[in-house]
Structure 1
Amino acid sequence: MTAKRFWPVAGVLLLIGIEALLFGYSYPFFSLALESKGIATWLIGLNASLAGAGILIFGPFLPALIDRLGLKFLVAAQFALSFLSFAAILAFDHLAVWFVARFVMGTCFSALWTTTEIWLNGVVDDRNRGRIVGASGTLYAACQFVGPLMLSATGSTGSLPLIAAMAPLAVGVAVALSIRSAVGETDEEETGSAATLRTALGLAGALIAAAFLTGVGETAMQSLLPLYGLAHGLSEAAASRLVAVFSLGEAILVAVLGWMADRYGRRLTLIGCAALAVVSTLALPFVMGRGLILEPVLFIAGGTVSGLYTLGIVLIGQDFRGQRLAVVSTGFAMAYSAGSVVGATPIGYLIDLFGVEALPLTVALGFLALMAFLVRPRRRIELAAED
């Protein structure tokens, strides 16, 4: 990689790390800080929900803002608004400010998740796309893990935790402004008309479905795995460990899958990833209580479920440029968020009706349907052309 291309890639990866750090930091910070003020638990939950709704509200406007402002200035503005949100809490310690600030920064963090993915796809070369995008997923997981550790050092009360959050956000503004805008690197195709953009979304239908199903499967597994473990006679500690192993797979295997996508072909890797997600989730009822087998199966399930999202990002960057890239990436992120919102609720209802085995069975059936769609003959565009 030339020096000219090194900083844009490294800089965007640094922005992704800062975003993940603050994401992991902000959720426990707000919960603990509001609890220390004696706020009702349902209000603390509402505060958290405000943060998660951002991309669903703001997402439809992202492509137009990217087109008008460019990624450099839009990403810098999102970091700046998050910085000002923490500053507002520091200056005006009022409950209404805590809620407005959480909504603003939650919206910014959700939008940053999408815009930095778009930016990274614009600055990487296609030969290394899978490796770098996969590595960014591992980087995100690692920095998100560091966030709560940082909070344990600062505490959740007083001005220190707010200042500690503002410092990396200020760095994010400076880094974003220092990177050459990706507009020139992603506009190999014309921005196109609304009809062209609708066509782009139609051509990415399989990837949008993958994003939605990943959101559903990942949220349901992380939320309901502890209950699944308890139903199989595990202790609370052992049931919680199921989620930890699942999350570890998410953090590590995405980088491996990215490398495999570049090495063995992206469509083949995506189909194989979906197949492994089906097999590993279906295997759960048969390996529960067998620790030496259970943990590798959960590890693979976590990595492949999360890997479907990462591979989708790789394929979008391969096949779309300019405004199409912005629109399809935004639709992809919104589909994932919608799946996360839907997530555990219907599967939890199915568990109430049919028992706990509805969890792995439902998730596996969803990915089986996706795999059947992916193996159909490709038409009009290679959603994931072989390298």
Structure 2
Amino acid sequence: MGLAALFASTFCELCGLFMFGPLLLFTLKARGLDTAEVGLISASQWLGMVLATPFTAGWVRRLGPQGALQASGVVPLLALLGITLSTYAPLWAGLYLIAGAAGALRWIVAESTVAELAPAAWRGRIVGLYETMVGATFVLGPALLALIGTEGAGAEASRWTALALVALGVLLTALVPKREHPADEDVRLGWHGIFDALRAAPAVMVVGFVGGFFEAGLASLLPLFGLAHGFPVAQAALLVSASGLGSALMMVPVGLAADRWSLERIWRWCARVNLCATLLLPLVGLFPAAHPLAWGIAFAWGGAGGALYTLAMVDIGHRHQGVALVNATAVLVMSYTLGGLCAPAFGASALQFAPIWGLPILLSLVAGLGLRALVKH
């Protein structure tokens, strides 16, 4: 019952967030902001996560896992409500940053709980199932946005629908039973704990960064990429759904493979797929007839990027328990969110200043970094 409530509450909250995010991009673009400015405002959510993540283990110890989950739902709800009721773009950036900071709490405590409770022989499949649920929200959020509308009255209805989903997630969180992590005096918190976990598995954290860059960060950038290359607004939003579909369909098979075969081997194949898909990207910019290829590339990015993160979570679940697992999860989430921050911030600038080649070059460098880290792992 506890895991079911956790799955359901996270599902509703993320559907609302991934519905709200692309709509915010379109709203800012309609106000006349250039692509780089829109990308920076979008990145503020990921900046909030990065800033808060080192301290989440301490907050989980103070509030308990259930209290942290409650706070991580209420604060983003209030932040999105503030964005909906105001018209000042700099305030939106600040509120989006606060929502991201609170979201780090949910992310870390939910991920670490799933990894800790899963039996070792089934950990890949169970973590993969959880990540499949998360990946489904990448699909359904933007799909609901495209269905309800992105302009005029449709956009207003979409905003309130997104808020209702986040509120439902808060209510479902109350059904998660209280659970205390055992105290572990040997495990350090804050930045000391972050550095301990980073030293223990640096390659895993590099892979987490690459996974966040391609799965979560590019989800914020794909609508802008579509608009820059002549896609209609609704089709540009559905590029995010293609990425999310890759996440949703690939996590359980990848987790099953990790339970049966070498984790490192599966990891390397995912990194190779990620790089190969990236090398096809210039075709979309050079040839309008190749536009349908963008959906396949986005699908590969979502699947391979999400798999890199999922396998990293399985790896640290094998290595750690209790507070040490919370710390290791925090480091993985921090590296993932750094990737999510860098993708829209640098990718939007690359897209603006070199529409055809800037983004492919940037993405190829990041994909190559992930593959190199795994080869040396």
Matched, 1:269 2:266: yes
* 1:130 aligns with one of 105, 124, 127: 124
In 2 relative to 1, CA 82–217 (structure 1 residues): closer, same or farther, beyond 3 Å?
A: closer
Report how far residue 209 of structure 1 moved.
0.7
- Amino acid of the residue matched to residue 207 of structure 1? V
Match of 1:107 in 2: 101
**8 Å contact from structure 1 (residues 55, 107) kept in 2:** yes
Matched, 1:213 2:210: yes
Report how far residue 75 of structure 1 moved.
0.5
- Amino acid of the residue matched to residue 192 of structure 1? V
Q: Within 5 Å, which residues of 2 pair with 1:89-108?
A: 102-108=96-102
Q: Within 5 Å, which residues of 2 pair with 1:81-230?
A: 81-85=75-79, 102-148=96-142, 150=144, 152=148, 155-157=154-156, 162=160, 164=161, 167-184=164-181, 187=182, 192-193=187-188, 198-218=195-215, 219=217, 223=221
Match of 2:251 in 1: 254
> The residue matched to 1:25 in structure 2 has which SS?
helix
Report how far residue 65 of structure 1 moved.
0.5
Q: Within 5 Å, which residues of 2 pair with 1:1-387?
A: 7-28=1-22, 41=33, 48-85=42-79, 102-148=96-142, 150=144, 152=148, 155-157=154-156, 162=160, 164=161, 167-184=164-181, 187=182, 192-193=187-188, 198-218=195-215, 219=217, 223=221, 236=231, 240=236, 245-284=242-281, 299-343=299-343, 346=346, 356-357=356-357, 359-360=359-360, 362-376=362-376
In 2 relative to 1, CA 173–82 (structure 1 residues): closer, same or farther, beyond 3 Å?
A: same
TM (norm. structure 1) is: 0.73
Bigger drift between 354-363 and 17-26 goes to 354-363
Report how far residue 199 of structure 1 moved.
2.7
Report how far residue 306 of structure 1 moved.
2.7
> The residue matched to 1:70 in structure 2 has which SS?
helix
Residues 285-318 of structure 1, C-alpha deviations (whole Å, 9 max, x = no match): 6897678988656643441123212221222222
**8 Å contact from structure 1 (residues 209, 370) kept in 2:** yes
> The residue matched to 1:343 in structure 2 has which SS?
helix
Distance 2:3 2:305 in 1: 26
Bigger drift between 135-144 and 65-74 goes to 135-144
**Unmatched 5+ stretches in structure 1:** 1-6, 379-387
In 2 relative to 1, CA 52–169 (structure 1 residues): closer, same or farther, beyond 3 Å?
A: same
Distance 1:93 1:284 in 2: 38
Distance 1:68 1:8 in 2: 21
In 2 relative to 1, CA 26–171 (structure 1 residues): closer, same or farther, beyond 3 Å?
A: same
Report how far residue 251 of structure 1 moved.
3.2
Report how far residue 181 of structure 1 moved.
3.9
**Unmatched 5+ stretches in structure 2:** none
- What is the identity percentage for the equivalent residue pairs of Structure 1 and Structure 2? 22
**8 Å contact from structure 1 (residues 62, 330) kept in 2:** yes
> The residue matched to 2:187 in structure 1 has which SS?
coil
- Amino acid of the residue matched to residue 268 of structure 2? I
Distance 1:292 1:148 in 2: 18
- Amino acid of the residue matched to residue 23 of structure 1? L
Distance 2:81 2:290 in 1: 50
In 2 relative to 1, CA 303–200 (structure 1 residues): closer, same or farther, beyond 3 Å?
A: same
Report how far residue 338 of structure 1 moved.
1.9
Distance 2:113 2:244 in 1: 26
Report how far residue 10 of structure 1 moved.
1.6
Residues 125-172 of structure 1, C-alpha deviations (whole Å, 9 max, x = no match): 2222222222222322323433355562894448x954x555544543
- Amino acid of the residue matched to residue 270 of structure 1? W
Report how far residue 253 of structure 1 moved.
1.9
Distance 2:308 2:315 in 1: 11
**8 Å contact from structure 1 (residues 20, 141) kept in 2:** no
Bigger drift between 134-143 and 24-33 goes to 24-33
Report how far residue 357 of structure 1 moved.
4.7
**8 Å contact from structure 1 (residues 274, 370) kept in 2:** yes
Distance 1:264 1:343 in 2: 31
**8 Å contact from structure 1 (residues 280, 301) kept in 2:** yes
Distance 2:325 2:341 in 1: 24
Distance 1:82 1:180 in 2: 21
Bigger drift between 189-198 and 18-27 goes to 189-198
Q: Which has the higher Rg, Structure 1 or Structure 2?
A: 1
Residues 12-45 of structure 1, C-alpha deviations (whole Å, 9 max, x = no match): 211220221121233255567889xx97758987
- Amino acid of the residue matched to residue 175 of structure 2? S
Bigger drift between 38-47 and 320-329 goes to 38-47
Bigger drift between 192-201 and 122-131 goes to 192-201
CA RMSD of aligned residues (A): 4.4
